[in-house]
């Protein structure tokens, strides 16, 4: 079974390059059949034994814990597995949006799941021997059992799709927010902006999944890891929601805290109950999560330190322009475009270029790509253009964390708002290529700087990420000790 599972996983990840739209056209009808089937099977049992609906009353749960006390607490670690899939739904929101996911959940998925669970309960009340495998006992033994096994296997494979594409969306957003190194991102749809494919993440995830299969061998042994991962995510989501209500929506504490307390009243008991399974495999998601957390923190600290280093050594714009004629021996025809994170100062690579070459193009564009903490920036608010003295133009392009940056498109829009325009056909793009020394002298620390340097070396180039024509790019190297 391990080998078969591995083959299925490789096949699933291999078709991702075709895009979510193509995958959805194949998987969507199967999931509709799946939910319709389990809903009907559950409904048949409920009609035969309607007394199971008394389980809707929370009184039974209260009585259970009143009778068993703390010895019954670990049962929450098992119960949580009934809702683990719900936490994965909104991870894929970047591909489909909130409304389609909400409609699919409320109109199809949730009713079918609830009815199926109640149907299994009704079956076990009528026939306690069905406890061994209540789901497959919903159908008569024989051809129907095999058909349900096949349908269940297909549904299991397809259910992984939301998580795979969700990882793509979250990776894309993390990059735009400055929390993760750049990776190659391919758009797979000309009509839906959020449908993307991330090759590096895709195959890294494939290898990780195969390793988990080899390590755990059986799906039942994954329950501990799954329970901690999902219940922990639920608690983190609740805390994050509280931060959004306070910092983004401006809710007062008296309004936001009760909402947080309500969610945590459900999330924390489930998480605590799953901690009993930590040594049984629950440590796996904790280690993986901690690893990604370290990468994100180091990348964020490194980028912040790099920005501070650059700003501290940059020349103010006015001072630079005032002394430009004395520092440049000649101005040559053409356009030079310097990418910079400094929206008001002169980039170090421009200083380095002038110091070494003492020549400069007649037209110079200082381009800053600014990612805002919103999903999308309207096209009308995308570009800011400021014309400076001596042939300089400063362009600031604003993008949301779900937008896709396109430098040539931004410069074309900016050129229409400049008095002399911006000639892109013969333009030269100057990019910085930093080498980090990782010594004891830097503020970041040698270990953190070496990790940051490793991430920087393996990040996707700015040329491909910003859709810059590679044949028009010149990279200028600098050595930096953070």
The 10s digit of each residue's pLDDT in 114-151 is 999 999 989 988 888 888 888 888 888 888 889 988 89
Per-residue model confidence (pLDDT) at position 21: 65
Instruction: Please report whether residue 306 resides in a domain.
Output: no
* Average pLDDT of the residues in 447-459: 87
In a domain, 139, yes or no: yes
Mean local confidence (pLDDT), 7-13 = 87
In a domain, 209, yes or no: no
Question: Is residue 391 situated within a structural domain?
Answer: yes
- Judge whether residue 452 has pLDDT over 70: yes
Give pTM, 2 decimals: 0.80
77/270 Cα distance (integer angstroms): 6
Residue 430 lies in a domain: yes
Judge contact between 479 and 435, C-beta under 8 A. yes
pLDDT tens track for 245-299 = 999 899 999 999 999 999 999 889 888 888 888 888 888 889 999 999 999 999 9
Q: Residue-wise over 206-218: b if at least 16 C-beta within 10 A, else e?
A: beebbebbeebee
pLDDT at 94 over 60: no
Asked whether residue 297 is assigned to any structural domain, the reply reads no
- Of 166, 182, 198, the position where a domain reaches its end is 182
The pLDDT of residue 22 is 63
Range of 424's domain? 315-480
- Which sign, positive or negative, has the C-alpha torsion 443, 445, 450, 451? negative
Query: pLDDT tens digits, residue range 412-432?
Result: 888 888 776 788 888 899 988
Categorize the per-residue pLDDT at 69 as very low, low, confident or very high, splitting at 50, 70 and 90: confident
For residue 104, the model assigns a pLDDT of: 84
* Helix residue ranges, H only, 358-403: none
List pLDDT tens digits, range 375-415.
788 888 899 998 888 889 999 999 988 788 888 888 888 88
Go through the chain and tell me how many residues it has.
482
d(CA 385, CA 398): 12
Domain boundary among 142, 160, 182: 182
Residue 220 domain-assigned (yes or no): no
Q: How many domains does the chain have?
A: 2
Residue that is last in its domain, among 128, 159, 182:
182
Backbone angles phi, psi at 317, to 5 degrees: -55, -50
**Residues 174 and 322 occupy one common structural domain:** no
Q: Report the pLDDT value the prediction gives residue 24, as an integer from 0 to 100.
A: 66
Residue 281 lies in a domain: no
Given this model, what pLDDT does residue 23 score?
A: 65
CA atoms within 13 A of residue 122's CA, in its CB half-sphere: 22
- pLDDT at res. 78: 77
Structural element, H or E, at residue 60: helix 59-68
Rounded CA-CA distance 178/201 in Å is 17
Contact 261, 300 (CB under 8 A): no
Single out the residue of 365, 367, 434 nearest to residue 406, CA to CA: 367
């Amino acid at each position: 079974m391990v080998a078969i599972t591995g083959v299925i996983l490789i096949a699933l990840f291999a078709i991702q390059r075709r895009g979510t739209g193509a995958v959805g056209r194949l998987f969507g009808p199967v999931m509709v059949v799946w939910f319709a089937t389990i809903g009907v099977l559950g409904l048949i049992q409920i009609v035969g034994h309607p007394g199971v609906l008394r389980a809707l009353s929370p009184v039974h749960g209260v009585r259970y814990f009143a009778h068993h006390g703390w010895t019954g607490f670990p049962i929450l670690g098992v119960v949580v597995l009934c809702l683990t899939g719900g936490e994965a739904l909104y991870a894929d929101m970047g591909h489909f949006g909130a409304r389609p996911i909400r409609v699919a959940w409320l109109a199809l998925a949730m009713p079918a799941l609830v009815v199926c669970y109640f149907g299994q309960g009704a079956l076990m009340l009528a026939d306690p021997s069905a406890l061994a495998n209540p789901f497959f006992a919903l159908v008569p033994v024989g051809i129907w059992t095999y058909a349900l096994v096949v349908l269940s296997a297909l549904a299991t494979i397809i259910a992984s799709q939301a998580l795979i594409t969700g990882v793509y969306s979250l990776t894309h957003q993390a990059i735009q927010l400055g929390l993760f190194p750049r990776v190659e991102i391919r758009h797979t749809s000309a009509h839906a902006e959020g449908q993307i494919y991330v090759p590096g993440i895709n195959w890294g995830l494939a290898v990780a999944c195969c390793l988990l299969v080899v390590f755990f061998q059986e799906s039942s042994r994954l329950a501990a890891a799954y329970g901690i991962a999902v219940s922990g995510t639920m608690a983190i989501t609740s805390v994050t929601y509280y931060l959004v209500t306070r910092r983004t929506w401006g809710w007062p504490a008296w309004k936001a805290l009760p909402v947080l307390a309500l969610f945590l009243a459900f999330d924390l008991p489930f998480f605590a109950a799953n901690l009993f399974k930590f040594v049984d495999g629950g440590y796996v998601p904790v280690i993986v999560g901690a690893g990604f957390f370290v990468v994100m923190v180091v990348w964020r600290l490194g980028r912040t330190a790099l920005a501070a280093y650059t700003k501290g050594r940059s020349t103010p714009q006015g001072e630079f322009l005032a002394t430009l004629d004395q520092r440049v021996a000649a101005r040559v025809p053409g356009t030079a475009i310097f990418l910079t994170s400094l929206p008001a100062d002169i980039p170090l690579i421009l200083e380095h270029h002038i110091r070494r070459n003492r020549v400069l193009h007649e037209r110079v564009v200082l381009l800053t790509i600014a990612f805002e903490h919103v999903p999308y920036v309207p096209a009308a608010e995308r570009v800011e253009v400021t014309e400076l003295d001596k042939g300089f133009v400063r362009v600031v392009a604003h993008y949301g964390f779900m937008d896709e940056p396109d430098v040539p498109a931004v410069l074309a829009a900016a050129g229409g708002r400049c008095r002399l325009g911006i000639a892109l056909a013969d333009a030269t793009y100057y990019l910085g290529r930093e080498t980090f020394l990782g010594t004891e002298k830097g503020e970041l620390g040698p270990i953190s700087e070496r990790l940051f340097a490793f991430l920087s070396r393996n990040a996707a180039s700015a040329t491909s990420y910003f859709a810059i024509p590679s044949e028009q790019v010149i990279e200028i190297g600098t050595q930096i000790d953070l």
